């Protein structure tokens, strides 16, 4: 399949959305948990979680303000400052994905999708009990993306909860052990199978290819 800019523009709209959403490759499949003083808790599946930096530890998420379900999460983060990112695993894959349905504002996806709110050490936002990798974040920066009127929200990691069995000696989280899923496009989920782990690429050790 060869597509230039015109071809892409002229694709059937739904076909285009699915192609472009998947063409950038594997994405992280996570649930973002938030709480609003007025509307209660909210839980939503997100696939635009991006590592921004390690020192300080920063994570980004892209928000499209036009999409109803995601606006709740966005508003809660801006208003309340605290939120959680929780890795989707295969046991909760279906329930997690269904948080993307358009529930009413005052309905909590935790309840509708049968996932348990977990509050740890007085952190304001709810974690997802069924998830084995949980991150607590504090809002840090909101960035306007002018090209398509979306936002990049940056948060600082202030809490991490993960079973030590999943963490390798050097600090790396083993995503196969943690059963963390990847998502392709909007609705296809993949399990991960570790293929290779490379040492730091020192130029002196360059193999002969």
**What residues numbered 92-151 form the site for a copy of itself, per CB under 8 A?**
93-95, 97-98, 100-103, 112-114, 121, 133, 135, 140-141, 143, 145-148, 150
How buried is residue 150: exposed, middle or buried, by Cβ count under 10 Å (0-12/13-18/19+)?
middle
End-to-end CA distance of the chain: 30
Nearer to a copy of itself by C-beta: 35 or 97?
A: 97
Rounded CA-CA distance 51/53 in Å is: 6
Asked if residues 86 and 80 have their Cβ atoms less than 8 Å apart, the reply is no
Minimum Å gap between C-beta 4 and a copy of itself is 6
Q: Which of 36, 64, 71, 105 is in the footprint of a copy of itself by CB under 8 A?
A: 64
Largest Cα–Cα separation, the chain: 62
Is 159 an interacting residue with respect to a copy of itself (CB under 8 A)? Answer: yes
Nearer to a copy of itself by C-beta: 52 or 78?
A: 52
Is 180 an interacting residue with respect to a copy of itself (CB under 8 A)? Answer: yes
Q: Which of 31, 40, 52, 119 is in the footprint of a copy of itself by CB under 8 A?
A: 52
Binding mask 65-84 for a copy of itself (x = CB under 8 A): --------------------
CA-wise closest residue to 33 among 72, 6, 91, 62: 72
């Amino acid at each position: 399949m060869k597509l230039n800019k015109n071809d892409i523009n002229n694709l059937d709209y739904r076909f285009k959305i699915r192609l472009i959403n998947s063409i950038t490759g594997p994405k992280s499949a996570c649930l973002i948990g938030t709480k609003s003083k007025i509307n209660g808790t909210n839980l939503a599946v997100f696939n635009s979680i991006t590592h921004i930096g390690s020192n300080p530890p920063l994570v980004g998420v892209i928000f499209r303000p036009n999409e109803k379900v995601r606006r709740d999460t966005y508003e809660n983060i801006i208003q309340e400052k605290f939120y959680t990112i929780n890795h989707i695993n295969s046991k909760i894959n279906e329930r997690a994905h269904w948080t993307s349905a358009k529930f009413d504002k005052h309905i909590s996806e935790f309840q509708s999708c049968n996932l348990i709110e977990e509050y740890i050490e007085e952190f304001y936002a709810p974690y997802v009990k069924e998830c084995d990798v949980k991150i607590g974040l504090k809002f840090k920066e909101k960035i306007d993306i002018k090209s398509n009127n979306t936002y990049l929200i940056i948060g600082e990691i202030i809490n991490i909860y993960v079973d030590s069995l999943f963490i390798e000696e050097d600090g790396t989280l083993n995503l196969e052990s943690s059963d963390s899923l990847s998502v392709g496009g909007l609705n296809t989920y993949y399990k991960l199978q570790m293929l290779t782990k490379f040492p730091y690429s020192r130029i002196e050790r360059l193999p002969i290819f």
